[in-house]
Each structure stands twice: as C-alpha cells, then as structure tokens.
Amino acid sequence: MKPQANKYSITSLSGIVLLAELIFWGLVSVAYYILSADDDFRIENPSAFWFFVLTPVVIASFYYFALKGNIGIRRLSEEHLSGHITKGASNWRMLASYFLLRFGIGFLIIALSNPQHGKNEVEGTSKGIEIMIALDVSNSMLARDLSETRTRLNIAKLAIERLTTKLHGDKMGIVVFAGSAYTQLPITSDYNAAKLFLSGISTDMMSSQGTAVGAAIDECLNAFDLENGTNKAIIIISDGENHEEGAIEAASYAANLGIQIHTIGMGTSKGTPIELYRGNKKTGVKKDKEGNTVITQLNEDFLIELGQIGNGTYTRANKSNVGLGGLLEELKKIDKTVLSKERFLEYDDHFQLYLFIGLMFVFSYLLIPLNSNRNVELNLFAE
C-alpha cells in the first residue's frame, strides 16, 4: 500500500483494520483470562463494556471518510491526472487517524469499567440511634381534615417514608396501634424493608378500635434491646384521641429509661366527620351504634403532655406538611452510638492509567483530524 496514492485503497485499508481488530480482541481476551484467574482482580463496572458496541460506528465512519475522499478526487480530475492536480490520498494518515480514535475510545471504556487489583480488608462501623415509630391506625385516622385528597393516615405514612430518606445509619421499627398494639416492623437498618411494610399499613389491620397509646409505648419498649447501650427514641404519630389508660405512666417509664418520646399531632382541633370511601367514591360518613355521625378532633393537649413527660417534643401537622424538619434536628442531638461493625474488602482502583492512555490517544487524534479536506487538497502550485 503506497503511503501517498491517487486514492484510498479501500481493500488494503479493510484488511489492515480487520487484522488489527482480531489482534486487539485476541489480546484483550487473553489478558482478561489471565487476570480473572487472580482473586485480587475484578472489574467494578462490567456493564461499561457495552460501550464497545460503538466500535462498528467508528469503523463505519472510517469507511465513510475514505469513500468521501475518493469521490472528491474523482470529481476534481480523471484518475491519471489526479496526482498532478491534488496532493493525493494518504492511506497511512487515514489509518493513523482511525487507530488513534479506535484505541482512544477502547482505553476510555476500559477506564470506565474500572479494573481493580489488590484488595485490603477494612473494618467499617455504623453509628446511629434506634427509633421506634408508633403509628395510629384507628378509624379516626381516616378523616380528611388535613387534606381533601389524603387521609390523616396517608399523610402520616408519607411522612414516615420521607423520614427514611433522611436517616443515616440509624435503625428503625414500626408499631401500629388502635385498641391494641403490635410490632409491624422489628428494629432494622433496611429502609427499603421499612417502606415495604409501611405500604401495607391500613385501618383494616386492627380488629379492636380505640387509641391505646400506652399499649403502643409498651410495645415499642419491648421491641428495643434495652441492654445494648444504644440511645433510643419513640415517635408517636396520632390524633391523640386516647381512649385507654396508662399512656402517661408508660411515657414516664420510658423517660426514666432514657428513651425520648416525640409526638406528632394529626388533624385539626375543630373536629370533622370520618368520611367513608369505596375507591375514589365517597359513600357516606362513619356513624356510631346509635346512628350519630362520629366526629373526630385532634387532642393536642394530651400529645403535648406526652411529649413533655417523655423529654421530647410535640409537632403539629399542618395540612400535608408533618413538620419533620424540627423533629429531625431533635433526633440529631441524640448522641449516636456504634450499632454494628462490619469487615469488608476494599479493592485498589487502576482506572487512572487507562484513562491517561485513552486521553493521549484522543488528543493525538485531534491533531490528525479525519477530514477529507485535509487529506485531499488542490495542488495548484505543483510544478
């Protein structure tokens, strides 16, 4: 293949490109086979290799510019006169442009996959507090006095879901209560599991109605490991219509154990009927055994007192805003303790070398642009 010809030799260029691709993939396969046998080697992002589907695009561009160059030469003159009118076509220059871009992209893809070699065992600790959320699921939580489109319970569930996105390293659990209480979600650091359990909570899950706040606090205490030395807190989300005894005593007992109790009031104090729905269609309002419309209202005084006795805070929900910001600030003030220790392997990154090589190839390619106007020029001043 002549270094300077009247036109690009498509056949010769194709053969060299095909041979180079076979050599490239052969070397890559052998290198990967050898390295993968080493336990200290791994590819962090193997999905990055999918970018090698760009290879046919690069090859197609290579042929496009070669063919375009030949067309340009034919337009300028007849083949036997092209050497006198144009500077000709540099096959080696075309190949240099192709290989620089091809290998530049290849090394950048390898860098993106981040080959790692060498591993070290590292111990990591997780610090936080334990939080139990006691969620009221009595029928009064079906009232829509905070929002026309959402019940008190739905707003409370959304607030808990937002809370899981703000916690870092803390463990949480959920207790649901109405006339009685039980643990819906044991203490866990798996926030995705918390969201899954949360989605299944409804007022239908409790057969006995009421608002047994005291029983809910006791159930939260039972869910805690009171001897592990971890700081703890209880968040009670309710409208405060307490129909059972023992809530104040339970809160006082928890406070004596050093466990804070924070309360969130759901609803308004003016009172509202409990609307009943079937799907999105309103079917009526809830009535008692005598046929009277049941009116539910926020018992704010009770929730404030409960928060004070529990050395915590009280937050009143305002429409769809539960006011988690202030509560989160209070939780951050609680000293975090080590919840767990884990040992894991940390690999050494080696993407930097491939990134440097890839960038050098790309920068070199930019100095030899794959442009037919550069490769085929009029030789007006040739003797």
The secondary structure of residue 231, as a DSSP letter, is -
Structure confidence at residue 172 as a pLDDT band (50, 70, 90): very high
Cβ(291)–Cβ(177) below 8 Å: no
Give tens-digit pLDDT for 108-167.
998 998 888 777 766 656 778 899 999 999 888 988 888 888 899 999 999 999 888 888
Is CATH 3.20.20.190 correct for 125-341?
A: no
Structure confidence at residue 218 as a pLDDT band (50, 70, 90): very high
**Residue 234 pLDDT:** 95
Cβ(360)–Cβ(101) below 8 Å: no
Structure confidence at residue 232 as a pLDDT band (50, 70, 90): very high
β-strand pairing of 275-278 with 260-265: unpaired
- Does pLDDT of 303 surpass 90? yes
- For the ranges 11-20, 120-129, 130-139, 363-372, the one whose mean pLDDT is highest: 130-139
346-373 exposure pattern, b = at least 16 Cβ within 10 A, e = fewer: ebeebbeebbebbeebbebbeebebebe
- Does pLDDT of 324 surpass 50? yes
**Residue 376 pLDDT:** 41
β-strand pairing of 115-128 with 41-43: antiparallel
How far is 292 from 281, CA to CA, in rounded Å? 22
Tokens of 114: 């981040």
Mean pLDDT to the nearest integer, 13-22:
81
**Residue 345 pLDDT:** 66
28-59 exposure pattern, b = at least 16 Cβ within 10 A, e = fewer: eeeeeeeeeeeeebbbeeeebeeeeeebeebb
CA dihedral in degrees (107, 112, 118, 121; nearest 10)?
180
**Residue 282 pLDDT:** 72
Map tokens 């995705």 to a residue.
Answer: 192
> Which residues belong to CATH 3.40.50.410 in the chain?
125-341
Q: SS3 for 109?
A: helix
Lowest mean pLDDT among 153-167, 248-262, 320-334: 320-334
Lowest mean pLDDT among 69-83, 284-298, 319-333, 340-354: 69-83
Percent above pLDDT 70 for the chain: 82
How far is 55 from 81, CA to CA, in rounded Å? 36
- The count of residues in the chain is 383
Q: SS3 for 128?
A: strand
**Residue 327 pLDDT:** 85
Lowest mean pLDDT among 58-62, 124-128, 221-225, 229-233: 124-128
Structure confidence at residue 379 as a pLDDT band (50, 70, 90): very low
Q: SS3 for 187?
A: strand
Give tens-digit pLDDT for 70-109.
666 566 555 444 444 445 556 777 777 788 888 888 889 9
Residue 282, Cβ neighbours under 10 Å: how many?
A: 11
Cβ(295)–Cβ(302) below 8 Å: no
More confident of the two residues 246 and 339 = 246
> Is residue 237 classed exposed, middle or buried when 0-12, 13-18 and 19+ CB atoms within 10 A define those classes?
buried
Strands (E), the chain: 41-43, 115-128, 130-136, 171-177, 181-188, 232-238, 260-265, 272-273, 275-278, 281-285, 295-296, 314-316, 337-349
Mean pLDDT to the nearest integer, 50-57:
83
Residue type, 121: E
- The chain-wide mean pLDDT, for the chain, equals 80
How far is 243 from 227, CA to CA, in rounded Å? 32
Give the DSSP H/E element, type plus range, for residue 292: none
Q: Tell me which residue of 178, 177, 258, 179 sits closest to 224, measured CA to CA.
A: 258
